[in-house]
Amino acid sequence: MSDEGKYLYCIIEEASHRTFGSIGIGEKRNEVHTLCYRDLACILSSTLMTKYLINRNNLMAHEKVIEEVMKEYTVLPIRFGTIATSNDEVRSLLMKNYHEFKKLLRSMDNKVEMGLKVFWLNMDMIFKEIAASDREVKALKEKIQKKHKDFSLDERFTLGEKVKNALERKREAEADEILRPLKSKCIDFCLNEPAGDSVVLNCAFLIDRMQEREFDDIVENLTRKHNNHKFKYIGPSPPFNFVNLVIRWAGGK
């Protein structure tokens, strides 16, 4: 087996040979180009037959190529780290999945992904608000304080669980309020797990390019309305949360 393989980034509709510059993954930054079958093409670059570590640099290199191609084409992203042994294996992939890829490309035509993360700015204020307004938390604190003694470990654990549950209820309520006007203007959305107490919402939206300006305006209005939150809004991006082709080669590679 050759030590050189073909690193795959995405699928597009294209019948001609195209190059996108020396922006490939890995230290050599090999040239990225199309490999075509009929009117489908796989975007790829030469690479060593190796397993790429899932780290920031490699992920960014993978995504950068797809974002560059997306400037001109509708793209079907391929899962990070997918490597074929040869051009023939790639052609076979396009041939065997031709109709499925064409159908997916039609479903993604003129669509982009927008990402939105929303954070609470002041967690001390949020916890004080919960302590003052949540009935269960407030009742337990008052019950313990009437004893005129320090909290026991069991009481601390119980109180911590009630605060955690109250925080989750508050997060869900605020996330729903933010999502409501956005859901009406998107084709689909994907809720991702919030990483950390301060994250209110972590969501990806699939939208039509024609509605991008209107979607931006809604996010801007929400930012003004929820001025005690931080909004992190990114896009347009390839539809990573909605299409992520997992290639299974013959022989189980």
pLDDT, tens only, 24-80 = 998 888 999 999 999 999 999 999 888 999 999 999 999 999 999 999 999 999 999
Residue 13 in domain? yes
Regarding whether 119 and 89 lie in a shared domain, the answer is: no
Regarding whether 150 and 83 lie in a shared domain, the answer is: no
The last residue of one of the domains, among 83, 109, 135, is 109
Q: What is the pLDDT of residue 151?
A: 59
Regarding whether 128 and 228 lie in a shared domain, the answer is: yes
The model's pLDDT over 151-164, given as tens digits with 9 standing for 90+, comes to 566 666 666 777 78
Regarding whether 125 and 90 lie in a shared domain, the answer is: no
The model's pLDDT over 96-126, given as tens digits with 9 standing for 90+, comes to 999 999 999 999 999 999 999 999 998 888 8
pTM: 0.83
Regarding whether 101 and 25 lie in a shared domain, the answer is: yes
The domain containing residue 121 runs over which residues?
Answer: 113-237
Residue 224 in domain? yes
> How many domains are contained in the chain?
2
Written as one string, the DSSP assignment of the chain is --SEEEEEEEEEE--S--B--S--SSTT-PPPEEEEETTEEEEEEEEES-PPP-SHHHHHHHHHHHHHHHTTS--EEB-TT-EESSHHHHHHHHHHTHHHHHHHHHHHTTEEEEEEEEEES-HHHHHHHHHHH-HHHHHHHHHHHTTTSPPPHHHHHHHHHHHHHHHHHHHHHHHHHHHHHHHTT-SEEEEPPP-STTEEEEEEEEEEGGGHHHHHHHHHHHHHHTTTEEEEEEEEE--TTT--B----TT--
Regarding whether 129 and 70 lie in a shared domain, the answer is: no
Regarding whether 233 and 118 lie in a shared domain, the answer is: yes
- Model confidence at 140, in pLDDT bands (50, 70, 90)? low
Regarding whether 140 and 96 lie in a shared domain, the answer is: no
